[in-house]
Amino acid sequence: GPLKPEITITYIAVSAIFFNSGLSLKTEELTSALMHVKLHIFVQIFTLVFFPTAIWLFLQLLSITPINEWLLKGLQTVGCMPPPVSSAVILTKAVGGNEAAAIFNSAFGSFLGIVITPLLLLLFLGSSSSVPFTSIFSQLFMTVVVPLIIGQIVRRYIKDWLERKKPPFGAISSCVLLMIIYTTFCDTFANPNIDLDKFSLIIIVFIIFSVQLSFMFLTFLFSTRHNSGFTAADTVAIIFCSTHKSLTLGIPMLKIVFAGYEHLSLISVPLLIYHPAQILLGSLLVPTIKSWMVSRQK
């Protein structure tokens, strides 16, 4: 279409989000976030170990139901995906949580996902294929790391102006993210090969919202224990980074791993539902989480 999402979304939109983050984030906050090893380990283990394993166990129960088996396989692929490179950062920023930690885990989780996600898909679904790690790795580097560094460099020169004017960074990122979701939905439902029965689709939507809420509550419980060592701002980053899954990395990876699969469209559907659902749910919970964080800090 005229929006050219294969260029504007794949390269420009994600780069814009991270340039925006680099511009708005104080360098000392980003540096201190790198040292928060315990938080990073928690997020990555939850996302890439606990999440896919829990989904696999849950699907053993669902396999006896009449739900479309390819949609169930699609749910498993959702569990195997790395953290997103945009939505978790934007929602953490909206609440006022540890944005630097969210950025680090989004970027680090995406790089881990390039290697780990295909291995998880192989383990849980038995699908194998030659994944061009170098091309995905280089694309991630150019769309995540480079814009972030450029944003930080530009910030050094216009720091006073930024602090004086306070540009609406959050609103800009949200608008870009909305564009990503819109083009993704257009891609999905423009595909004539998708053969969905309404019952399976409604059940999958219900399961996705239930899984997200359950896992958000679980990460909240774990990270707010007395001996956890996490601040309220850390908890906000953990809730979003641990439970969100990457669409921008996930869809290209599914197309590579399941290349030539006649059921690729159906396998992709749960991820295409999960992504906007995580943003919708996160946006609805922002005021609640924000008021909790403020009261906790007081």
- Tens digit of each residue's pLDDT (9 = 90 or more) over 154-189: 888 888 888 787 777 767 766 776 776 677 667 666
| Count of all residues that appear for the chain in the document | 298
- Tens digit of each residue's pLDDT (9 = 90 or more) over 32-89: 667 778 888 999 999 999 999 999 999 998 888 888 888 888 899 999 998 876 788 8
- Tens digit of each residue's pLDDT (9 = 90 or more) over 226-249: 787 888 889 999 999 999 988 767
C-alpha distance from residue 11 to each of 59, 80, 105, 117, 133 (Å): 35, 23, 20, 21, 17
pTM: 0.75
Average pLDDT over residues 4-19: 71
The encoded tokens of residue 285 equal 């919970």
**If we measure between CA atoms, which residue out of 22, 297, 251 comes closest to residue 159?**
22
pLDDT value at position 185?
A: 66
Q: At how many degrees (to 10) do helices 232-243 and 87-95 cross?
A: 160
What percent of the residues of the chain are helix, what percent strand, and what percent coil, each to the nearest 5? 80, 0, 20
Q: How many CB atoms lie within 10 A of CB 173?
A: 23
As its CATH architecture, domain 5-292 has Up-down Bundle (1.20)
pLDDT tier at 3, thresholds 50, 70, 90: low
| CA gap 171, 173 in Å, rounded | 6
Question: Which one-letter DSSP state was computed for residue 259?
Answer: T
Name the residue ranges covered by the structural domains of the chain. 5-292
pLDDT value at position 217?
A: 94
